């Protein structure tokens, strides 16, 4: 009975040794290509963002350098009388005139434009191609083209022109004589002529 038991234990021990050797051998075998063990993926490295290029292109530099502000573009020659100036006498010349001060006397600028600004005060007869009134004018106006009285303007005197425009809110007191363009040669002088009947008086205050 003892011998049989020993043999049985020896066999069982031998099987355990063989099983251990087989397991140890399998552990040291390299992984086969077809093995089902999952491979660990490599971590994805973030791609560095490209730094912005702040250098302006030659085309943009050229366009910026060649741009000209609208205020720098000349719109024509024009003399200006500032609001702190007072002029007494006769004004003549060959360029347009902007009056923002005080003028007393006569203004003879045939073929040019005379603009009386909002601060302008004129006590004179005006002869010009175009007269624009935004301030106050006391005197006769003779224009080969037109007389324009804006809403802030005030004109007391007779008007001889091819066209006249009076905006709402403007003040006008005097006579109006509409003449065809080229019908009268403007060479200066007063607005009314002794050979021509005076215009009918008109008073307008919008």
Q: Please write the tens of the pLDDT for every residue from 8-17.
A: 454 545 555 4
In this prediction, residue 125 carries a pLDDT of: 98
Q: Does pLDDT of 198 surpass 60?
A: no
- Percentage, residues of the chain above pLDDT 90: 49
Torsion from C-alpha of 178, 128, 77, 101, nearest 10 degrees: -110
What are the structure tokens assigned to 21, written together? 């050797």
Closest alpha carbon to 171 in 121, 120, 128, 134: 134
Q: Is 174 exposed, middle or buried (0-12, 13-18, 19+ CB in 10 A)?
A: buried
Residues 120, 102: Cα–Cα separation, whole Å: 6
The two beta strands, 159-161 and 171-178, are parallel
Total Cβ atoms within 10 A of residue 123? 15
What are the structure tokens assigned to 111, written together? 């073929």
Residue count of the chain:
206
Q: Which residues of 10-38 are buried (b: 16+ CB within 10 A; e: fewer)?
A: eeeeeeeeeeeeeeeeeeeeeeeeeeeee
Give the torsion sign (CA, 202, 147, 154, 152). Answer: positive
Give the torsion sign (CA, 122, 160, 158, 195). Answer: positive
What are the structure tokens assigned to 44, written together? 């994805």
Pairwise pLDDT comparison (189 vs 86), residue with the higher score: 86
What confidence tens digit (pLDDT) does each residue in 15-74 have?
554 554 554 444 545 555 554 555 565 666 666 666 555 555 444 444 444 443 333 333
The answer to whether 138 and 157 are in contact (CB under 8 A) is yes
What confidence tens digit (pLDDT) does each residue in 112-167 have?
999 999 999 999 999 999 999 999 999 999 999 999 999 999 999 999 999 999 99
Q: For the residues of 21-39, what is the DSSP string, one character each?
A: HHHHHHHTSPPPTT--PPP
What are the structure tokens assigned to 193, written together? 């002529």
The answer to whether 105 and 91 are in contact (CB under 8 A) is yes
**pTM reported for the whole predicted model:** 0.55
């Amino acid at each position: 009975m003892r011998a049989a038991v020993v043999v049985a234990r020896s066999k069982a021990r031998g099987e355990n040794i063989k099983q251990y050797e087989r397991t140890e051998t399998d552990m040291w075998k390299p992984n086969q290509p077809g093995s089902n063990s999952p491979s660990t993926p490599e971590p994805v490295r973030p791609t560095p963002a490209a730094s912005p290029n702040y250098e302006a292109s030659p085309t943009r530099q050229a366009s910026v350098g060649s741009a000209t502000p609208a205020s720098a573009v000349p719109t024509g020659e024009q003399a200006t009388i500032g609001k702190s100036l007072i002029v007494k006498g006769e004004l003549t010349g060959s360029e347009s005139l902007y009056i923002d001060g005080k003028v007393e006397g006569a203004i003879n600028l045939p073929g040019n434009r005379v603009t009386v600004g909002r601060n302008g005060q004129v006590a004179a007869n005006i002869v010009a191609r175009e007269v624009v009134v935004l301030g106050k004018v006391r005197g006769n106006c003779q224009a080969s083209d037109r007389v324009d009285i804006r809403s802030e303007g005030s004109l007391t005197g007779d008007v001889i022109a091819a066209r006249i425009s009076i905006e709402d809110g403007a003040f006008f007191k005097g006579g109006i004589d509409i003449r065809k363009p080229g019908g009268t040669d403007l060479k200066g002088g007063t607005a009314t002529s002794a050979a021509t009947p005076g215009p009918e008086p008109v008073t307008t205050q919008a």
